[in-house]
Amino acid sequence: MTLLQATPDVGASGTPTVRLDLLGLFQHAAWPVRITIALLIVCSMLVWLIAVLKLLQLGRLRLVESDFERRTRHVNSTRDLMEVVGRGTGISPGERVISLLRARGSGAHIERLRALADRAIVDEGQNARALMWFLAFIAAASPFIGLFGTVYGIMDAFVRIGAAKTASLPVVAPAIGEALITTAIGLATAIPAVFFYNWIDRRVSDFIEELEAAASEWVALISEQSAVGLEPTIPVRPGGARLRP
């Protein structure tokens, strides 16, 4: 097998047109190189699958969160805010944050409310970043996996040179071709993984910042209403004079 194979087409200069036979390289490669290439192809497919799933997830989260913030835009009291949450479906991150505040922050101080909101936002961020560790792993590991195939191919080339006792191109070209193709596939797998990881991470960070800003407004509203509702009343004498507490 040769790295470059001639086709029947002849160019203007009279020389045959050559092309790179990737399938032939894979079919005639050693088993470690085949396994390496197959692993990289699987990783590449997973990169695109995860990227599509994450983009769909972020699109859905932004859609439901925008609808929820639109419904709470003109809310001026905690009761109205809780009514909006009660009429919701509970699928938006904002609804889950307010539900946690309602369940565990009743009558709590504003610092406690902020801590609860931060805890809920951290959970939402972790859910939004699910599977992103896999993109980071593929981006970091794919070049080294391809490099393993390269090293093995070069070692195989030296073995063939020793067996044939010659360093002619027909002897070393197939092994070198196998070596270089694994590096190329490793880079082709890692580059999209790096791109999608950074792009999705940026979009998740923007979404979390928007959720934090909305949660700060909700915490302020709940704390103001709680302060008004919990303000101690001063008893009054029948004649109208106030009693000192």
Per-residue pLDDT of 5-46, as tens digits, reads 444 444 445 555 555 555 666 666 667 778 888 899 999 999
Q: In terms of C-beta density within 10 A (0-12 exposed, 13-18 middle, 19 or more buried), how is residue 85 classed?
A: buried
Give me the pLDDT at residue 21, please. 58
Q: Give Cα 56 to chain centroid, integer Å.
A: 11
Give me the pLDDT at residue 105, please. 63
Give me the pLDDT at residue 3, please. 43
Give me the pLDDT at residue 1, please. 41
Distance CA 97, CA 108 (A): 15
Q: In terms of C-beta density within 10 A (0-12 exposed, 13-18 middle, 19 or more buried), how is residue 57 classed?
A: middle
User: Are 25 and 178 within 8 A, CB to CB?
Assistant: yes
User: Are 177 and 25 within 8 A, CB to CB?
Assistant: yes
Q: In the structure, how many helices (H) and strands (E) does the chain have?
A: 7, 2
Beta-carbon contacts of 14 under 8 Å, excluding residues fewer than 6 positions away, are none
Domain boundaries, the chain: 30-227
**Nearest partner of 16 among 4, 28, 8, judged by Cα:** 8
Distance CA 138, CA 191 (A): 10
Instruction: Give the tens place of pLDDT for each residue, 169-227.
Output: 666 776 777 778 888 899 999 999 999 999 999 999 999 999 998 888 888 888 776 65
How many Cβ atoms are within 10 Å of 45's Cβ, its own excluded?
A: 11
Percent of the chain at pLDDT > 90 equals 27
Distance CA 70, CA 93 (A): 14
Average pLDDT over residues 57-83: 85
Average pLDDT over residues 84-108: 77
Distance CA 28, CA 163 (A): 18
Segment of 64-78, 200-214, 224-238 carrying the highest mean pLDDT: 200-214
Q: In this structure, which long-range contacts are made by residues 220-229, counting pairs with CB atoms below 8 Å and at least 24 apart in sequence?
A: 220/110, 221/75, 221/76, 221/77, 221/78, 221/81, 222/78, 222/81, 222/101, 222/105, 222/113, 223/109, 223/110, 223/113, 225/77, 225/78, 225/79, 226/78, 226/107, 226/108
pLDDT, averaged across the chain: 78
pTM of the model: 0.74
Q: Which helix (H) or strand (E) holds 17?
A: strand 16-20
